[in-house]
Amino acid sequence: MMKDIKLSANLKEGFLKEARQRQMELAIRVEVVALSIVPRLVAGVDAAFLGDKIIGSACLHRYEGLDRLEAASVVQDVEFPYVPGFLSFRESPVMLNALKALSTLPDLIIVDGQGIAHPRRIGLASHIGVLLGIPTIGCAKSLLIGTHDNPGPLKGDWQYLYDRGQVIGAALRSRKNVKPLYISPGHLINIADSISVILHTTTRYRLPEPIRCAHNLSAEEKGRRRREGSALPQTPPTRGGVRHPGHKEVPLTS
């Protein structure tokens, strides 16, 4: 079982007040718009936990053909407690560092988590997208908020996801007769384009290939470390930012 971070009630209240304010600042910068580029490179990012460490993995693929070009994993201390609705502060640092470990950043990122399908419209994918200035999509395996009609049984069937009268994403059947994925725009993309990208990058499995690759990479690293019984080294702190063609350098930390 994971040794999680514990906070006193008073400290937790102040901690979350600051985090909530940061979320509101990021949320007003989220842009849900049509995808303005034809992506050449797409990445998937995922995280896994082992003890009091977090493993972040990123897989880089060609958008056409989905050939895997590169993959990277990093390990860090868990520095933010588990609090529903604030997972981006817990997982985004290691995911950003995994992306930085790639030789080049992608044109588009699929994140294992929520985009705007979040109580404050700033899930993990939106958080990462705003910080990097890159289009991102939230691709979650379970529902966080909202309601939807049941999509049909075939691959490509989908229904809008609603919350408080607003359309925030879609429940998408990515494979025949499997549970739907919950797709929501992260940043610089809309719902229709998000669905199109997810279907384009999904082959014979439930998950899109970039996410499936990153998930497997994190699981393999976790399993290897567990079998070896070795201590998990911490990735050296990242200072500065990630540079992406056409985008100014941005800080990695939130």
Domain-embedded: residue 60? yes
Q: How many domains does the chain have?
A: 1
Segment 196-245, tens digit of pLDDT: 999 999 999 999 999 999 999 999 999 998 888 754 455 543 333 333 33
Domain-embedded: residue 240? no
Segment 117-170, tens digit of pLDDT: 999 999 999 999 999 999 999 999 999 999 999 999 999 999 999 999 999 999
pLDDT at 230: 56
Domain-embedded: residue 207? yes
Domain-embedded: residue 246? no
Domain-embedded: residue 254? no
Looking at 51-65, 80-94, 130-144, 220-234, which range is the least confident one? 220-234
Judged against a pLDDT cut of 80, whether residue 61 lies above it is answered with yes
Domain range spanning residue 171?
Answer: 15-235
pTM score, two decimals? 0.86
Q: The domain that contains 58 carries what CATH number?
A: 3.30.2170.10
Domain-embedded: residue 212? yes
Domain-embedded: residue 86? yes
Annotate the chain with three-state secondary structure.
CCCCCCCCHHHHHHHHHHHHHHHHHHHCCCCCCCCCCCCCEEEEEEEEEECCEEEEEEEEEECCCCCEEEEEEEEEECCCCCCCCCHHHHHHHHHHHHHHCCCCCCCEEEECCCCCCCCCCCCHHHHHHHHHCCCEEEEECCCCCCECCCCCCCCCCEEEEEECCEEEEEEECCCCCCCCEEEEEEECCCHHHHHHHHHHHCCCCCCCHHHHHHHHHHHHHHHHHHHHCCCCCCCCCCCCEEEECCEEEEECCC
Domain-embedded: residue 9? no
